Amino acid sequence: MSDPQTALRPDLAIIGDLIKPDTRILDLGCGDGALLSHLARTRGVRGYGLEIDPANVAACVAAGVNVIQADLDEGLADFADGSFDYVVMTQALQALARPDLAVAEMLRVGREAIVTFPNFGHWRARWAIMNGHMPMTPALPAQWFNSENIHLCTVADFEDLCRKSGWNVLERVLLDRAHHRGAAITLLPGLFCEIALYRLRKPANIVPVG
Amino acid sequence: MTGTPPQHASSADSVGIVVPRTFAIEQPLLLDCGRTLPRHDLMVETYGELNAARSNAVLICHALSGDHHAAGYHSDSDRKPGWWDSAIGPGKPIDTRRFHVVCLNNLGGCRGSTGPTTLDPATGIPYGPDFPIITVRDWMRSQALLADQLGIARWAAVIGGSLGGMQVMQWAIDLPQRIGHALIIAAAPKISAQNIAFNEIARQAIMSDPEFHDGRYYAHGVVPSHGLKLARMLGHITYLSDEAMRARFGRVLRDGDGQFNYNYDVEFEVESYLRHQGQSFVDRFDANTYLLMTKALDYFDPAREYGDDLAAAFRGATARFLVASFEADWRFSPARSREIVKALVAAGREVTYAQIDSDLGHDDFLMPLPEYHRVLRNYLSRVADEVGA
């Protein structure tokens, strides 16, 4: 078995760096448990992964990760308010029935939410639409009719939702396909970011500074 | 069930011919009902070697109608192996090359352990209805006395399905220092009114049988076979899903001519199946034990002493948990297993939960479903690594 630490996906590595040691985390759509396994070994982070796919569940079990087989669309009713420091969801938001309710649930259960999603405003997507077609890009490889991504949004759309919902954006990381933060992204984030990462918090939880 | 490939005692993945042993527990056992059993016997089977560190022992807890014979064969002429042979053996998920597996007939049973059919030393006749009501916790205490006698201070894992899973929960809650891992399969934190209702009908079927004689049927040289048969037929319906019964029997007629007979004889295949299951159960099971087992199910409710807060009950547990349920199981549905998981999460315990896609129903926990066995195997392989097995 390869060392999961070296094999950690770049976006997971970026999230890993945002998690403080000895905290509790809930990872929604945890896949094979790579992030949880990494955080448990390197930062003493404890928690659970939620995963629907049986093969992934079995992989988590093999890795010694606490995994709970569940459908994210059924919500987080089994988890108490504020029971985790972080609730993380990578690349699943756009596949959910109600992404807005999902993020709200994440912020109910966790003190902070970390989400990543593909930016539908990336120039490749815009270019495809200009040419009269739904985009098929490296970040969005499926066809419109068989894609699991039913609620795609742009970085600007997501930030609108945050504003309307009153969620505070603590951190925003915009990445290209190779998970780099290039100069083009800094200049024109909406056009050049392929994967967006947000760290959110409910304002009520924020202690006023000064 | 039919459909499993033919297996033999000589198969490479069978534990082979096994010999049950009686263990005499000479310590008095104070029971939840307030009575004390001065001593009792337990019928036990073990598979695989206990390692030098005594760290690789696994306890298997049986369900309502199970016994100590979980794997292997008693003789070459045995038609069927033990009740959980699909999961226990060399190279199987509960791998006897790595674990020392212990399975016993629970106290109150009718397969060699002290129970209603045993002679009461006080009277010289079988206990019958005078045998004390036994709870899941009484079983755990009795199993702990057995563990003492076997020199097993701590189980690497305690594993059980259905009523067996309830015993696992009790171990994790009451004797946390003696259990490393708790595998709770197709169970519930307490049974529902619907479940108690099924049990009550089963009991009434037995107790209203004219041959029951207030439970003293042994003295009359009879058994309440009619009532026990009905109880088992009812049970069987609840162990199978509607879909499984449809697929297996449909409305197929017993007679091949396709004509209705317009009488009360067996007309449909499903009737024939249920009658056969009922009859074969009567031949191997005692009615008073059946009554006891259903009561143990009804009374189980570990949260009761913790203000009905299951999470509070689990707060003192130190084991890691694997909870598994089956989609087609409506008698102990996935929702009931999720209650356990929810409480474990609220208590901050280490827990993994697998909800297995299945067709059969409650009986799925005995089936070698690939998805189910993969989870069991992966989990227990880590347990074995952990205890140096």
Answer yes or no: is A25 within a domain.
yes
Residue A18: pLDDT band by 50, 70, 90 thresholds?
very high
Q: Which of A129-138, B130-139, B250-259, B261-270 has the highest mean pLDDT?
A: B130-139
- Which residues, listed in sequence order, are joined to residue B73 by a DSSP beta bridge? B17
- CB-CB contact of A149 with A95 (8 Å): yes
Q: What is the mean pLDDT of residues B304-327?
A: 98
Q: Does B70 touch chain A (CB under 8 A)?
A: no
CB-CB under 8 Å, A67 with B345? no
Answer yes or no: is A130 within a domain.
no
Answer yes or no: is B169 within a domain.
yes
Test the A interface: residue of B344, B349, B352 with most A CBs within 10 Å: B352
Test the A interface: residue of B339, B345, B373, B385 with most A CBs within 10 Å: B345
For residue B308, pLDDT over 70 is answered with yes
Q: Nearest CA to A32 among A5, A59, A70, A1?
A: A59
Q: How many CA atoms lie within 13 A of A147 on its CB side?
A: 19
CB-CB under 8 Å, A68 with B345? yes
Q: Nearest CA to A113 among A187, A188, A205, A31?
A: A205
For position B1, what pLDDT does the model report?
41
Q: How many angstroms separate the Cα of B13 from the Cα of each of B72, B86, B234, B284, B376?
A: 10, 9, 34, 27, 16
Q: In angstroms, what separates the C-alpha of B376 from chain A's closest C-alpha?
A: 9
- CB-CB contact of B230 with B200 (8 Å): no
pLDDT tens string B349-374: 999 999 999 999 999 999 999 999 99
Q: What is the mean pLDDT of residues A112-138?
A: 90
Q: What is the mean pLDDT of residues B61-68?
A: 96
Contacting residues of B for A54, CB less than 8 Å apart: 354, 356-357, 371, 374
Q: In angstroms, what separates the C-alpha of A92 from chain B's closest C-alpha?
A: 20
For position B141, what pLDDT does the model report?
98
- Find the range with the poorest average confidence among B40-44, B255-259, B381-385: B255-259
- Residue B72, judged by CB atoms within 10 A of its CB (0-12, 13-18, 19+), counts as buried
Q: What is the mean pLDDT of residues B288-314?
A: 98
Same domain, B313 and B279: no
Q: Which residue of A57, A78, A80 is in closest CB contact with B341?
A: A78
Answer yes or no: is B298 within a domain.
no
Q: Nearest CA to A64 among B184, B381, B58?
A: B381
Same domain, B145 and B242: no
Q: In angstroms, what separates the C-alpha of B321 from chain A's closest C-alpha?
A: 9
CB-CB under 8 Å, A78 with B382? no
Give the angle B85-B88-B92 at the CA atoms, nearest 5°: 115
CB-CB under 8 Å, A66 with B350? yes
CB-CB under 8 Å, A66 with B352? yes
For residue A5, pLDDT over 80 is answered with no
Distance CA B310, CA B338 (A): 12
For position B176, what pLDDT does the model report?
98
Answer yes or no: is A138 within a domain.
no
Same domain, B153 and B233: no
Q: Does B311 touch chain A (CB under 8 A)?
A: no
Please count the structural domains in chain A.
Answer: 1
Range of the domain at B223: 213-289
Domain boundary among B261, B289, B317: B289
- Which residues, listed in sequence order, are joined to residue A183 by a DSSP beta bridge? none
Same domain, B85 and B185: yes
For position B212, what pLDDT does the model report?
98
Three-state DSSP state, A101 = helix
Answer yes or no: is A144 within a domain.
no
Answer yes or no: is A124 within a domain.
no
Answer yes or no: is B328 within a domain.
yes
Residue B6: pLDDT band by 50, 70, 90 thresholds?
low
φ, ψ dihedrals at B364, nearest 5° = -55, -25
Answer yes or no: is A26 within a domain.
yes
For position B27, what pLDDT does the model report?
97
Answer yes or no: is B6 within a domain.
no
Same domain, B346 and B267: no
Contacting residues of B for A62, CB less than 8 Å apart: 378, 381-382
Domain boundary among B231, B261, B289: B289
φ, ψ dihedrals at B376, nearest 5° = -60, -45
Q: What is the mean pLDDT of residues A48-58?
A: 97
Answer yes or no: is B2 within a domain.
no
Distance CA B315, CA B312 (A): 5
Q: What is the mean pLDDT of residues A34-54?
A: 96
Residues present in chain B in total: 389
For position B383, what pLDDT does the model report?
98
Please count the structural domains in chain B.
Answer: 2
Cα-to-chain-centroid distance, residue A205: 21
Q: What is the mean pLDDT of residues B326-352?
A: 97
CB-CB under 8 Å, A78 with B352? no
Same domain, B237 and B333: no
For position A8, what pLDDT does the model report?
83
Distance CA B101, CA B68 (A): 11
Q: Does B273 touch chain A (CB under 8 A)?
A: no
Test the B interface: residue of A48, A68, A85 with most B CBs within 10 Å: A68
Answer yes or no: is B80 within a domain.
yes
Contacts of B152 (CB under 8 A, 6+ apart): B50, B54, B57, B102
Answer yes or no: is B196 within a domain.
no
Same domain, B41 and B155: yes
Range of the domain at A78: 4-119+149-186+193-201
Distance CA B128, CA B286 (A): 10
Structure tokens at A59: 């992989």
CB-CB under 8 Å, A68 with B353? yes
The string of DSSP codes covering B311-322 is: HHHHTT--SEEE
More confident residue, B207 or A122: B207
Same domain, B251 and B380: no
Distance CA B92, CA B97 (A): 9
Q: Does A67 touch chain B (CB under 8 A)?
A: yes
Q: Nearest CA to A28 among A93, A125, A123?
A: A93
Q: Nearest CA to A188 among A126, A139, A143?
A: A126
For position A2, what pLDDT does the model report?
44
- Token pair 């939410």: residue: A113
The CATH number of the domain where B281 resides is what?
Answer: 1.10.1740.110
How many other CB atoms sit within 10 Å of the CB of residue B298? 17
Q: Does A70 touch chain B (CB under 8 A)?
A: yes
Same domain, B66 and B91: yes
- CB-CB contact of A20 with A6 (8 Å): no
Distance CA A181, CA A194 (A): 10
Residue A209: pLDDT band by 50, 70, 90 thresholds?
low
φ, ψ dihedrals at B25, nearest 5° = -100, 105
- Structural element, H or E, at residue B240: none
- CB-CB contact of B377 with B13 (8 Å): no
CB-CB under 8 Å, B374 with A69? no
Q: Which residue of B346, B352, B357 is in closest CB contact with A67?
A: B352
Q: Does A52 touch chain B (CB under 8 A)?
A: no
pLDDT tens string B163-193: 999 999 999 999 999 999 999 999 999 999 9
Contacting residues of A for B337, CB less than 8 Å apart: none
Same domain, B50 and B184: yes
Q: What is the mean pLDDT of residues A29-34?
A: 95
Q: Which residue of B345, B357, B375 is in closest CB contact with A61?
A: B375
Answer yes or no: is A111 within a domain.
yes
Answer yes or no: is B16 within a domain.
no
For residue A210, pLDDT over 50 is answered with no
Q: Does A23 touch chain B (CB under 8 A)?
A: no
Contacting residues of B for A65, CB less than 8 Å apart: 352
Percentage of residues of chain B with pLDDT beyond 90: 94
Answer yes or no: is A127 within a domain.
no
Contacting residues of A for B378, CB less than 8 Å apart: 58, 61-62
How many helices, marked H, and strands, marked E, lie in chain B? 10, 12
Domain boundary among B229, B254, B289: B289
Residues of B tagged active-site:
162, 329, 362
For position B7, what pLDDT does the model report?
63
For position A151, what pLDDT does the model report?
92
Same domain, B143 and B265: no
Radius of gyration of chain B (CA): 21
The CATH number of the domain where A197 resides is what?
Answer: 3.40.50.150
